[in-house]
Amino acid sequence: MLKNYITIAWRNLTRNSLYALLNVAGLSIGLACALIVFWFIRFQTSFDHSHTNIDHIYQITTEFHSDGVGYSRGVPAPMWKAMDAEFPQYKSSMCFEKYNSFMAALDNSGKAVKKFKEEGPNLAFVQPEYFSIFDTHWQVGTPASLSKPNTIVISEKMAKKYFGTENPIGKSIRLENELNLEVTGIIDNVAENTDLPFEFFVSFQTLIANPKYNYGGSGLDNWGGVNSNTYCFLLIPENVNIKGVEKQLTALNKKYHGKDYAFYKHPLIPFASMHHAENYDGAMPMKWVWIMSVIGIFLIVTACFNFINMATAQALRRSKEVGVRKAVGATRSQVFIQFMTETALITLAALVIGFAMAVLVVPHINSWLDQPGTWPVDIRWADGLLWIFMVSLFVGVVLLAGSYPGGILAGFRPVLALKGNISTRQIGGISLRRGLIVFQFVLIQLLVICTLVVNNQVDYMLSQSVGYETKGIAELPIPTPDKVNQTTFRQRLLEIPGISDASFCLFLPTTNSNNNSNVRFDTRQKDELWSMNTKNADDNYVKTFGLQFVAGENIPKSDTIRGYLINEKAVERLGLKSPAEAIGKNLKIWDVTAPIYGVLKDWNNTSFKSGINPIAIFTYKDYNYRCAVKLNTNNLHQTMKSVEKLWNEYFPDYLYEQSFMDDNIAKSYALENMMLKLIRVFSFIAIFIGCLGLYGLVKFMASQKTKEIGVRKVLGASIVNIIGLFGKEISLLIGVAFLIAAPLGWYVMHGWLQDYEYRIPIGAEIMILAITITFLVAAVTAGYESIKAALVNPVKSLKSE
């Protein structure tokens, strides 16, 4: 019997090849999107879940309480001592994450033979206990390999990169041309889905033994500052009351922060949730996971509604077939099973095609989005959840798409079916298809509205001035600012044709890397209840970036702090009536009291997601790890080649790199750009699937109005009049869909825009453009079938009825 069902189903599909092709096309695209979304959700919700103790790993974070609440996933550096003293019963580890490390492999004589600039946070200083918290497979060595100073453990990938086929154990790697580290272990390569992508682990004892290196020295004992890359992890057994641990952390806060304890709080956050924690700059906020889930469901439902539309449109043609089947003894259930078999064949074909499409697309999505770590590069075929999802998707689509049309066909009365007297109402009527089309176009217009709003917001953020000119500014690293003569280096730079100015600094005016510090104003006895954004730079900083004075003058040339420049926001937060009132008053930052020399006009110092912060600029030569070069040239390539040559002359033991300020600012909106690309693609797909459904509806309407069209043409109706019949119907459906989609789209996107301090208004022009796009697409889709119906000879149409 099953073989018979399949054979007849195959014959019906080949006989109605256009119908089958449209359904397979719509379903395969919908299913491919569902699979792509599934892999996204599966990948993003599995970050670091491979660790055995993931449900019991917690990260101690920091909250800053002043006139608001600030968040950091980092902790004060001496937290490692507090953990040993206050929580000896738990396994804990500090993890000092380091970005963009300069590494060199050394030969036996200590000479650098291979040099690399490692991008991103792939190096960390850790305690051996780190490997008791996070699962790590050791190819060579054990966690004890990192118990001594100046030791390093590397991944298998890095072992091959730095030492080729040689055994790396006992060899040395030089870090930042300062520390020679002995390789004492090799671990497996890092997983794709991890927020701890470290391929170099340096012993924490190295920091203690080398007090002059970066985090060492007084930094390891300083409770007054928080670096966002300084992590503390705690492994808490299942039977321990977390509330009790949090109370202990509150006591720790009071004990170690002293009089400043009210400003700090150290919450305990489950590490499994950190990937989605928006307050802590999680890599993928949970709202985007939900948005992708909803889009995937919408596309599948839209594809199924298409199937229902076209299947019920085909029902009239198959009424006599059903009548004959029932006349010779077929039961209602047999007719239903026959149609469900056809649906299953179409769905199976669509699933195979959709799966193939998804498999081909997924490995390339990251590079297309320019966002590594968003989708898996390699698909895990052994993932049981994937196959459960595939089977569930197949069964769900067959039932959702096939049940209603199958029930309609199975319910035909044989006498009426054989006479050809099946009415429109008996197959669900146009009203059902109208409802399905309205639903589809609600989704389409929602996606179009979202696309337009996101596109306009991203364009706004990229095109708006941050308060000064960012184009034509190159950024160079200064590896050893305490050793280089910055004045001479700047003079040599200005001799290069095409360079108009240069400034040494730690941070550029607009960046996501920022330092904050307590501040005390003039004769006030206490620090302010808010922190100052600090930027140490030389006296050429203001001129190089074109920042504008509203009061006072520039800071004097100096190697150490001799004065401050502040912005208008700082004047406001200090409670002063005017910028001029600040000039000459003292400011205390970094325990250095010096006068305010000038007040600068506000500029955006992070991104348009955030408001303007109070800022202080001051000189401190030894921390000027960057050099900003202002370019004024039509021969950029030659100018930058000259800059590279000069840089290599000053820093021959390092690798040259450069970046441009406007590119770096654009990277602040990488997540928004990624989502914009995805929404654009999904909008196009939704429109395409919706067009298939609209085509099915117009085809059905044409078949139902054959006699009416013939009569109208005999009575003198023109082709335009006939096309108007269809246009009126479609316009009504799109209009109803718009009335639903417009307020819903405004509500959703208004909520989304609240995450941005600077945002666009959702004006009428966006709604008008959305419905215009929908009308144009609908007109193109319905035009062919409408014109075809209008051109039919009335004699033929009346005769056929």
Which whole number is the average pLDDT over 528-549? 91
Q: At what angle do helices 79-86 and 242-257 cross, to 10 degrees?
A: 130
Full-model pTM: 0.79
Quick one: DSSP state of residue 236?
Answer: -
What distance in Å separates the CA atoms of residue 587 and residue 524, rounded to the nearest whole number?
Answer: 10
- Assess whether pLDDT exceeds 90 at residue 758: no
Contact 39, 362 (CB under 8 A): yes
Predicted pLDDT of residue 418: 46
Predicted confidence band of residue 797 (pLDDT cuts 50, 70, 90): low
Chain centroid, CA 120 distance in Å: 17
CA–CA distances in Å: residue 282 to residues 44, 267, 287, 288, 700: 11, 16, 11, 11, 50
Which tokens hold the place of 56?
Answer: 């019991």
Residue 7 one-letter amino acid: T
* Mean per-residue pLDDT, 762-784: 85
| pLDDT score for 778 | 81
Mean pLDDT value of segment 677-689: 84
Which of 84-88, 226-230, 536-540 bottoms out in mean pLDDT, i.e. has the lowest? 226-230
pLDDT at residue 800, as a whole number: 52
Instruction: Please count the other Cβ atoms lying within 10 Å of the Cβ belonging to residue 572.
Output: 13
Beta bridge partners of 477: 626
Q: What are phi and psi of 515, to 5 degrees?
A: -110, 145
Q: How confident is the model at residue 15 (pLDDT cuts 50, 70, 90)?
A: low
In whole angstroms, what separates CA 278 from the centre of its chain?
11
Q: Token match 């095609």: residue?
A: 353
The reported pLDDT for the residue numbered 411 is 58
What value does the CA radius of gyration of the chain take, rounded to a whole number of Å? 34
* Torsion region of 725: left, alpha or beta (phi above 0 gives left; psi -120 to 50 gives alpha): alpha
**What's the residue count for the chain?**
801
CA–CA dist 578, 585 (Å, integer): 13
pLDDT in tens, 107-132: 888 888 888 888 878 899 999 999 99
Q: What is the pLDDT of residue 70?
A: 80
φ, ψ at 140 (rounded to 5°): -140, 135
Say whether pLDDT at 580 is over 90: yes
The sign of the CA dihedral 612, 617, 623, 629 is positive
Give the integer Cα–Cα distance in Å for 751 and 257: 38
Sign of the CA dihedral running 626, 631, 637, 642? negative
User: Is the predicted pLDDT of residue 412 greater than 90, yes or no?
Assistant: no
CA-based end-to-end distance of the chain: 37
- At 73, list the tokens: 């996933």
> What pLDDT, on a 0 to 100 scale, did the predictor assign at position 2?
55
Q: CA torsion, points 155, 157, 162, 167, in degrees to nearest 10?
A: 70
Q: How far apart are alpha carbons 301 and 395 in whole angstroms? A: 14
Average pLDDT of the segment spanning 599-621: 89
- Strand 549-552 to 268-270 pairing: unpaired
Comparing 17 with 434, the larger pLDDT belongs to 434
Query: pLDDT value at position 417?
Result: 46
- At residue 642 the predicted structure's pLDDT band, cuts being 50, 70 and 90, is very high
Any residues with CB less than 8 A from the CB of 469 and at least 6 apart, and which? 545, 546
Burial degree of 544 (CB within 10 A; 0-12, 13-18, 19+): buried
* Higher pLDDT among residues 226 and 706, named by residue: 226
Would you state the pLDDT for residue 495?
Answer: 92
Q: Which two tokens stand for residue 182?
A: 């002995």
Neighbours of 247 (CB within 10 A): 11
Which tokens belong to 525? 């006895």
CA distance 561 to 537: 10
Tokens of 605: 């110092």
List of residues 6+ apart from 569 with CB closer than 8 A: 602, 612, 613, 614, 615
Range in 97-111, 207-221, 226-240, 656-670 the model is least confident about? 207-221
Instruction: Work out the burial of residue 472: count CB atoms within 10 Å of its CB; fewer than 13 is exposed, 13-18 middle, 19 or more buried.
Output: middle
Q: CB under 8 Å to 545, separation ≥6 — which residues?
A: 468, 469, 473, 503, 508, 509, 628, 630
Which residues on neighbouring strands pair with residue 618, listed in sequence order?
536
Residue-level pLDDT at 694? 74
Cα→Cα distances 661→164, 493, 578, Å = 36, 18, 32
Give pLDDT, residue 171: 93
Pairing of β 200-203 and β 123-126: parallel
Phi and psi (nearest 5°) for 674? -60, -50
pLDDT (0 to 100) of residue 319: 58
Q: Rounded to the nearest 5°, which phi and psi values hold at 54?
A: -55, -35
Averaged pLDDT for residues 726-750? 87
Residues 6+ apart with CB under 8 A from 660: 473, 474, 475
pLDDT > 90: what percent of the chain? Answer: 32
Neighbours of 264 (CB within 10 A): 19
Distance CA 164, CA 153 (A): 16
Instruction: Please state, in angstroms and rounded to a whole number, the distance separating the CA atoms of residues 57 and 206.
Output: 25
The b/e string for 215-227 (b: 16+ C-beta within 10 A; e otherwise) is bbeebbeebeebb
Q: 747: Cβ–Cβ under 8 A, 6 or more apart, which residues? A: none
Average pLDDT score over the chain: 83
Q: What is the SS3 string spanning 265-299? A: ECCEEEHHHHHHCHHHCCCCCHHHHHHHHHHHHHH
Per residue in 470-508, pLDDT (tens digit) is 888 999 999 888 888 999 999 999 999 999 999 999 989
Q: Residue 15: left (phi > 0), alpha (psi -120 to 50), or beta? A: alpha
User: What residue has token string 């400043």?
Assistant: 260
For residue 801, what pLDDT band results from cuts at 50, 70 and 90? very low
* DSSP assigned state of 613: P
Contact 306, 437 (CB under 8 A): no
Q: How far apart are CA 111 and CA 317, in angstroms?
A: 83
Using CA atoms, how far apart are residues 555 and 594, in angstroms rounded to an integer? 11
